Structure 1
Amino acid sequence: MKKLISAALLLAGALFGSGTANADALCTGKFPNLISDVCWSCMMPIKLFGTATLLGGGQDDFDSGPVNPVCFCQNPPKVGIPTSFWEFDMMTDVTAVPGCFPLLGGVRVNTGVNADAFGQISDDQSGEIGSTRTSFMQVNLYINPALYVMGAILDDSCLDQRGIDIPWVSFADPTHNDDELAGIIAPYAFPFGGMVAIGAMSADAVAATAGFPIPEIFWAAGAYGHMYPLTGNNEAHLSMEQTARLQTTRVLAKLHAAGTQWSAFGSDAMCGYYPQIIMDKRQYKFTRLYPIPQTVKIAGKCCDPIGRSPILTQTNTELPMPGWRDFGYAIFRKRDCCSGASPG
């Protein structure tokens, strides 16, 4: 029954995805059409036995799962084959308006707290070389296990089976607008504010733009900027696309640090998810849903690993109009799984 209800909600979103709702003059948005607004190439490549590519499409990937012809799980007992793919199971929207949900058609709720914590971008009029703008934005995280609801691939045990939900909103998180308070969640980040650590971020940005970010440089988010602090503050705002992708990355890193977001790739994930306090940035890819869906392929791809430069994808996405400071993304997570059957 739960899956049928989720399927009905998903179908309604797909059918009416082109409609907009302006329940509030400050809050605009659009339901994403899960058929035409999503870059479904992101779920590829799909691999079997760790190496055999069933569907590739020239999409970004990295080796993670075991290279074996057969896999086994004990609880519940299962025999299967190692399978690897990228699962669309989450979304975020980044907005300047607290309580605004752009991916729900522009619905705005009365927050009760932090109602005046509007997003803002500083105006840098100093003209000095090397000066940068700063920004602050609100973020909402959605659970949307589209592949499971649609029954689109493999067996259900390999897919995220959570119901459609909004488990985290920034306006209700007291650490989102307080850099010092956010340090409680990730105290290990304090030593990485020096010049040597900051210099290593360039290497991470180059690696992410060429392929995937470097997991050992966990304090950097590639070309997006600093991973820490895990707040809505961006001390080096270059564009809304860059800031929105940085905020999406930070939300995932914060939930990993809090132990509420688990990883799903590698040998440890063959029979289930596992906690990963310091997030491996390689396990996520983003594709934009709003304001302009990122469906036009660049070099054969329409989604990006964390940290890849958004200079090509952000074209025509930032205009001086209502709603054009709000961005939404589909999140694809790397999934390694033992796909098979349980006895009985």
Structure 2
Amino acid sequence: MKRAHLIAFWTAAIIHCHGVAGDLATTCIGKFPNPVTDICWSCILPISLGGTTMANLAKQEDIANPSNPVCSCGVNPAIGLSIGYWEPARHVEVVRRPFCLVSLGGLDLNPGIPSPSAALVPDAGGQSSSFYQAHFYTNPVMYWLRVIADFPCMERGSFDLAYLTEVDPLWNDDELSLILNPEAVLFANPVAVAACAADCVAATTGFSLPQLFWCAGCQGSVLPLDGHVRTHGGGVRTSELLTQRLTAKMHRELLAWGWHGKRGLCGPYFLPIMDKTAYKLQLTHPIADTGKLGGKCCQPFGRTTVLWGAGKEYPIKGEDFAFMLFRKRNCCVGY
């Protein structure tokens, strides 16, 4: 009897470790992003004063800035200058193995909490759906590197793990996720899906369309805000989509705020529906995308991965992905 119990125990353990057929969670390998070699610093450009561009290289993309170069903030208004740039401040990783912190050198944080591993699930039509876990970091790299001393227009802090989807039951359940995004039901129709084609074109030539907030450009749909992807289009494309979803989820939960535009001059503000045009991303793992494509190495949300994702995924050690997020920042310097 004891032997039967022992066999049952080890059988359950093997199933728990290896998961179902198609399980992707086999390794936990990574590295901390080197701020010198793995971050594309030209992504902070352009820098603007009011509506005028003061510094740019290779025509980096930008969104509209407050037109007036003079600004004021506070009850007793303090006068300052309206500055705009793209701040490297957040970091997202998309992983196969639960609690695998790729951006912390492949640290396995597993506290013993059961959580689903990543998986590919083939269907009868020859396509596959997929699921991944994701992590959200605060990474105000300009501050902790002291790139600019005494500059008030940047977030102060350190590299820190802010969110784990493994402990979020909404990330693994389409129905539970409706608590955060009930509008997903409205956009689950062919017309809304077809509209995302226009978002893809816009993102590939510039920035995606903020009016189509349910679209993720060429990656598909931002909704639902969970880790299930109906059509797996490769690791780079899928991880870019989940990076958008997790960032949108942070906004919906009021854990990420808006920092751009006229409203952002005097500080952050609530932005429960993410403005897709306020972010650019740069791949930092497994292969840091620092080779400039047309003079650029960061991409607006939704841009097709055909232009920048080729050769960035490889077996075993190159199937987890991490991205540096550059967010648009406008502030009143002098306030």
Q: Structure 2-normalised TM-score? A: 0.88
What is the aligned partner in structure 1 of residue 328 from structure 2?
Answer: 334
Does the CA-based 8 Å contact 1:45-1:86 persist in structure 2? yes
Does the CA-based 8 Å contact 2:129-2:230 persist in structure 1? yes
What is the aligned partner in structure 2 of residue 243 from structure 1?
Answer: 238
User: How far apart are 1:79 and its partner, in Å?
Assistant: 2.0
Query: Residues 55-94 of structure 1, C-alpha deviation per residue, up to 9 Å, x if partnerless?
Result: 343111111x211131111168532111110000011111
Distance 1:74 1:317 in 2: 47
What is the aligned partner in structure 2 of residue 39 from structure 1?
Answer: 40
User: How far apart are 1:308 and its partner, in Å?
Assistant: 0.1
Q: Structure 1-normalised TM-score? A: 0.86
Bigger mean CA deviation after superposition, 187-196 or 330-339: 187-196
Query: Residues 304-338 of structure 1, C-alpha deviation per residue, up to 9 Å, x if partnerless?
Result: 00000001322222222x22210011000000111
Distance 1:139 1:155 in 2: 33
| Unaligned segments of structure 1, at least 5 residues | 1-23
1:335 partner letter: R
Does the CA-based 8 Å contact 1:73-1:338 persist in structure 2? yes
Distance 2:99 2:229 in 1: 20
What is the aligned partner in structure 1 of residue 105 from structure 2?
Answer: 105
Does the CA-based 8 Å contact 1:155-1:339 persist in structure 2? no
Q: Percent identity?
A: 39
Alignment of 1:153-302 (within 5 A): 153=148, 155-302=150-297
2:47 partner letter: I
Q: Tell me the SS of whatever aligns to 1:113.
A: coil
Q: Could you say which structure has the larger radius of gyration?
A: 2
1:119 partner letter: A
Quote the RMSD (CA, aligned, Å). 1.8
Query: Residues 123-148 of structure 1, C-alpha deviation per residue, up to 9 Å, x if partnerless?
Result: 45x4x4xx532110010111010112
Distance 2:228 2:79 in 1: 47
Distance 2:232 2:75 in 1: 47
Query: Residues 206-263 of structure 1, C-alpha deviation per residue, up to 9 Å, x if partnerless?
Result: 1000100000101110011111111111101111001111111101101111111101
Does the CA-based 8 Å contact 1:44-1:57 persist in structure 2? no
Distance 1:45 1:154 in 2: 20
Distance 1:91 1:75 in 2: 34
Bigger mean CA deviation after superposition, 24-33 or 268-277: 24-33
Query: Residues 24-69 of structure 1, C-alpha deviation per residue, up to 9 Å, x if partnerless?
Result: 9721111111101111111100111221323343111111x21113
What is the aligned partner in structure 1 of residue 119 from structure 2?
Answer: 120
User: How far apart are 1:155 and its partner, in Å?
Assistant: 4.7
Count of residues paired in the alignment: 311
Does the CA-based 8 Å contact 2:45-2:55 persist in structure 1? no
Distance 1:75 1:100 in 2: 47
Does the CA-based 8 Å contact 1:41-1:57 persist in structure 2? no
Does the CA-based 8 Å contact 2:286-2:320 persist in structure 1? yes
Does the CA-based 8 Å contact 2:118-2:131 persist in structure 1? yes
| Unaligned segments of structure 2, at least 5 residues | 1-24
